[in-house]
Amino acid sequence: MESPPSPATLAPAVHIDSTHPAVKALAARAQGGTDRERAVSLYHLVRDGYRYDPYRIDLSEHGMRASTVIENGYGWCVPKAALLAAVSRAAGIPARVGYADVRNHLSTQRLRDLLKTDLYIWHGYTELWIDGRWIKATPAFNIELCERFGLLPLEWDGTADSIYHPFDRAGRQHMEYVNQRGTFHDVPRERIAGDFARMYPAWVESASGDDQFQKDVERETR
């Protein structure tokens, strides 16, 4: 049985700051007359409007807020999922964030060197309540990045879960889900930051303000 939305799935939270002016302005751009149509519109606005960048992670409270993705113009999977939840709540659509551990078989050499593993813990996605059930949406990878990496873009029509494809366009392994961590009304920032510090110390310590991720992707996919 589906658990129905609680008041918290429509309320602002520390990181899912759905009452922030920039979040409300983005939510107002949703197109369509039904929740499903507006949710799909918001999904594409978040997926393609803000570049995926795992080099510039910021595990602070400010860094993990949905509104910070808008402020920066980029984000990684956790804050981008928070942003989709925030704009959905601002548009009156119940939403929450969920997490899974995945094996990512495609990334840049720099990221592989930093993580020293292909296991990515706390991969973030969003669940939205549409037509009486929770549906997963994953807005992390923008369309340009998918095209450069030869990935199949994650499309979402609001009727079925949108999760990472197991293979890329060429049939190479891409994403494998190995553990589900559940759903939350707000980003469990302290748990994520603590686990990252233990699992990926080099990644956390090297997080910087440079924008080399896209350049590395372009260089490695020529």
Reading the block at residue 71, the tokens are 């402020």
Encoding tokens for residue 25?
A: 């302005």
Rounded to 10°, the helix 77-90/35-49 angle is: 150
pLDDT at 50: 94
Q: What is the pLDDT of residue 130?
A: 96
DSSP state of 173: B
Does pTM surpass 0.85? yes
Give the Cα separation of 128 and 178 in Å (integer).
22
- pLDDT tens track of the chain, all 222 residues? 578 999 999 999 999 999 999 999 999 999 999 999 999 999 999 999 998 888 889 999 999 999 999 999 999 999 999 999 999 999 999 999 999 998 875 667 888 888 888 889 999 999 999 999 999 998 987 555 545 555 555 678 899 887 654 445 555 555 678 899 999 999 999 999 999 999 999 888 877 656 677 677 667 666
Beta-carbon contacts of 174 under 8 Å, excluding residues fewer than 6 positions away, are 104, 105, 106, 151, 164, 165, 166, 167, 168
Tokens standing for residue 135: 């549906």
pLDDT of 19: 98
Contact at 8 Å (CB) between 174 and 149? Answer: no
Query: 94 exposed, middle or buried (CB, 10 Å; 0-12, 13-18, 19+)?
Result: buried
